[in-house]
Amino acid sequence: MLLILSMAGLSNPISLFRTAAQSAPGVEAVSSQDTAALQAEVLALFDDLRDRLLRYSLSFGIARHDAEDVLQECFLALFRHLQAGRSRENLSGWAFRTTHNLSLKRRASVHAEYRAAVPEETAQIQVCDDGPGPEEHVLFSERQERLRAVVRALPETDQMCLRLRADGMRYREIAGTLGISLGSVAASLARSFERLQRMDAR
């Protein structure tokens, strides 16, 4: 189900919330007043978080339209989460974790589709005569893949702290977003930077 959001190329999600309110399995019918209150709550969170969540999703290397789809799924899931009467504690952290997991799934799906559609021999990098040679490209690609592997191997919270820091968030902002202590953010980033430095020194 496609959720339409109000940002560049995206419009208001209320019609989708209405559909979700009518079709969500295992959820008792709620009054139109309750549904309107949920819509308002989720829309307020959407307005507050959408730009940061979009940048966060894009940091996984997926295309913008895929990141926009991730946000659509995230806020529809958030609406259903609240509609089911589940916890409202640290909803911004919930949204970032959901975006994290959906972005990983979307990236895996896109890569699988690409590998199926593009034969290996046509996927080789074309190197210009005046640019870096094939050996430099190979070394750069190998280093980038090692870095990505280190990040993928980090615990989820460490990955999230690292990506949010790369997006320019201060330690205190990261702590507030994820609902963890400032000390936990500092320790998480220290661990991540140490692992990345060890890999880069090899």
Residue 34 covered by a domain: yes
Residue 190 covered by a domain: yes
pLDDT at res. 125: 43
pLDDT at res. 8: 43
pLDDT at res. 9: 46
Are 152 and 99 within one domain? no
Domain that holds residue 94: 14-105
Number of structural domains, the chain?
2
Kindly provide the b/e burial profile for residues 6-42, where b requires at least 16 CB atoms within 10 angstroms of the residue's own CB. Answer: eeeebeebbebbeebbeebeeeeeeeeeebeebbeeb
pLDDT at res. 37: 86
Q: What is the mean pLDDT of the chain?
A: 79
Tell me the whole-structure pTM to 2 decimals. 0.68
Tell me which residues of the chain have a pLDDT lower than 70. Answer: 1-31, 111-133, 137, 202
Chain segment 125-136, per-residue pLDDT in tens: 444 445 566 777
